[in-house]
A and B are shown apart, each in its own frame.
Chain A
Amino acid sequence: MVRFEYLEAGSVEEAVSLLDRYGGEALAIAGGTDMVVQMRYRELAPKYVVNLKAIKDLDYITEDASGLRMGALATIRSIETSPLIKERYGILAQAAHHLGSVQVRNLATIGGNLCHAAPSAEMASPLLALGAKAKITGPKGDRTVPLDEFFTGPGQTVLKAGEILTELQVPPPPPKSAGVYLKHSIRKAMDIAFVGTGVVVELDGGDKCRDIRIGLGAVAPTPMRARRAEDHLRGKKLEEAILREAGEIASQECSPISDIRCSAEHRREIVKVFVRRAALQAAELAAGGR
């Protein structure tokens, strides 16, 4: 493994000041499930590693009038098993369940999954579909950005030197809304998504779609929203024919690559199917009153 100097931050302020002081030479580590492997293979070679995991007050999952708040250090496992999340933000528990193994989920954090910024990041597409925001803390204080502006490229985010992601915020679920996460991979567990799709549907008083958000993973340089497909569906009744059109649109607005797992054409085909299927399932759930 690469050699580095190890620093431990006991608080957010300390983390920010250490990262600010060492700038590009320092990397923040949380669960370590991605970073330790990358340092072992020398894909990452930081001079300083700042461990955030000891910051006590960043590991929480709570809800208030403004919605769900998750501290960046909340583990994927705690999101998967949280009764609050299962009951009110089920799509997050579904996606969390798909990430790695129990052992990995016990270590990996929501903040780490997002800051690692893999195009396939498991938690990104459901959070995009939920309209989440990211709270960032840095030397100049806090700022909040919509999650769809958080990712800037593979492994790249809007975080500047000295800044850390501190909280994820999700607005409260409107009545008659529901979300569904679908993942396509070869193995049922322990696999990276070929395509991940998170869809949240809100129905109006009747049976039309008042609002819909579609988050896609592994089909573009960053996790993305399929906004044109969303526009196509807003205000409509979510039926087979129009959902097929939306799937078609989503498959056009994404920009997948071919890699060892899957060809770009195949990914586009899966997007078509998943957008239709997830929206249909979510609409059914939403009609059920949840």
Chain B
Amino acid sequence: MKHLIKLTVNGEEYEVAIEPNRSLLDVLRDDLELTGTKKGCETGDCGACTVVLDGKTVNACLILAVSANGKSILTIEGVAQGGKLHPVQEAFIEHGAIQCGYCTPGMILSAKSLLEENPRPTEWEVREAIAGNLCRCTGYVKIVKAILAVAEEMAKAPVA
């Protein structure tokens, strides 16, 4: 039996009728056509499917979409504001932290939420925060540098 669910994704409301065995990842990609969120392993290991659900990063492949009814979700498509990239996105470009780009949406969301919780992370804390995001191109050094650079920028120009 299909269920009618409501999702708020990147501030927009959607209503979709879905079978309960669909993952949130599939519903985002196939029903809402938000393909910025990637599908890697579908076992919770790679983090390509990372989205922010009610303020917390989660693996969209591990969530039954039906159970996300009424929840608010941020995907990579909602990270830039008013045509302006988020500082983490800027830093990834600047530091060459993007190769094929498959891990990037998930990496950016993990990095963004780390910096919101902990604006001055150590390198080790950065590495732990992205432990659930695998980069098959293995560009970790530049990814970590990019994230640390954002933290440094933020410390220089604290937001009022």
B45, CB-defined interface residue at 8 Å: yes
Q: Cβ of A103 and Cβ of B23 under 8 Å apart?
A: no
Residues on A facing B (Cβ under 8 Å): 1-6, 8, 29, 31-33, 36-37, 39-40, 49, 51, 53-54, 77, 100-104, 106-107, 188-190
9 A-B contacts (beta carbon < 8 Å): A31-B62, A37-B42, A37-B62, A101-B133, A103-B50, A104-B44, A106-B56, A106-B58, A189-B131
Closest to A53 in B: B67
Q: Cβ of A103 and Cβ of B21 under 8 Å apart?
A: no
Q: Cβ of B21 and Cβ of A102 under 8 Å apart?
A: no
Q: Cβ of A33 and Cβ of B57 under 8 Å apart?
A: no
Most buried by A among B44, B63, B114, B132: B44
Report which of A3, A6, A31, A39 forms a contact with B66, defined as CB distance below 8 A.
A6
> A53 CA to B59 CA in the complex, in Å?
16
> A37 CA to B25 CA in the complex, in Å?
13
Report if A49-B20 is in contact (Cβ < 8 Å); known contacts: A33-B44, A104-B132.
yes
Q: Please name all residues of chain B whose beta carbon is closer than 8 Å to the beta carbon of A101 when the two chains form the complex.
A: 44, 47, 59, 131-133
Closest to B110 in A: A102
Taking the nearest CB of chain A, how far is it from the CB of B122, in angstroms? 15
Most buried by A among B19, B23, B45, B58: B58
Closest to B1 in A: A5
B34, CB-defined interface residue at 8 Å: no
Considering the complex, which residues of chain B in the window 40-78 have a beta carbon less than 8 Å from any beta carbon of chain A?
Answer: 42-45, 47, 50, 53, 56-59, 61-64, 66-67
Q: Please name all residues of chain A whose beta carbon is closer than 8 Å to the beta carbon of B45 when the two chains form the complex.
A: 190
Q: Cβ of A36 and Cβ of B131 under 8 Å apart?
A: no
Q: Please name all residues of chain B whose beta carbon is closer than 8 Å to the beta carbon of A8 when the two chains form the complex.
A: 67
Q: Cβ of A6 and Cβ of B62 under 8 Å apart?
A: no
B86, CB-defined interface residue at 8 Å: no
Q: Cβ of A36 and Cβ of B63 under 8 Å apart?
A: yes
Q: Please name all residues of chain A whose beta carbon is closer than 8 Å to the beta carbon of B50 when the two chains form the complex.
A: 103
Most buried by B among A29, A37, A189: A37
Q: Please name all residues of chain B whose beta carbon is closer than 8 Å to the beta carbon of A190 when the two chains form the complex.
A: 45, 131-132
Closest to B61 in A: A36
The interface on chain B, measured as residues whose beta carbon lies within 8 A of the other chain's beta carbons, has a size of: 32
Q: Cβ of A104 and Cβ of B59 under 8 Å apart?
A: yes
Residues on B facing A (Cβ under 8 Å): 1, 3, 19-23, 42-45, 47, 50, 53, 56-59, 61-64, 66-67, 110, 113-114, 128-129, 131-133
> A6 CA to B5 CA in the complex, in Å?
13
> A29 CA to B43 CA in the complex, in Å?
16
Q: Cβ of B44 and Cβ of A37 under 8 Å apart?
A: yes
Taking the nearest CB of chain B, how far is it from the CB of A7, in angstroms? 9
Closest to B129 in A: A102
Taking the nearest CB of chain B, how far is it from the CB of A57, in angstroms? 18
Report which of A2, A100, A107 forms a contact with B63, defined as CB distance below 8 A.
A107
> A188 CA to B127 CA in the complex, in Å?
11
> A4 CA to B66 CA in the complex, in Å?
12
Q: Cβ of A107 and Cβ of B131 under 8 Å apart?
A: no
Q: Please name all residues of chain A whose beta carbon is closer than 8 Å to the beta carbon of B53 when the two chains form the complex.
A: 106
Most buried by B among A51, A53, A103, A188: A103
> A1 CA to B66 CA in the complex, in Å?
14
Report which of A4, A31, A36, A103 forms a contact with B110, defined as CB distance below 8 A.
A103
Q: Cβ of B58 and Cβ of A2 under 8 Å apart?
A: no
Q: Cβ of A107 and Cβ of B64 under 8 Å apart?
A: no
Beyond the given A37-B44, A103-B59, A103-B132, please list 11 additional residue pairs across the A-B interface where CB-CB is below 8 A: A6-B67, A32-B63, A32-B64, A37-B43, A49-B64, A102-B114, A102-B131, A103-B50, A104-B59, A106-B58, A107-B63
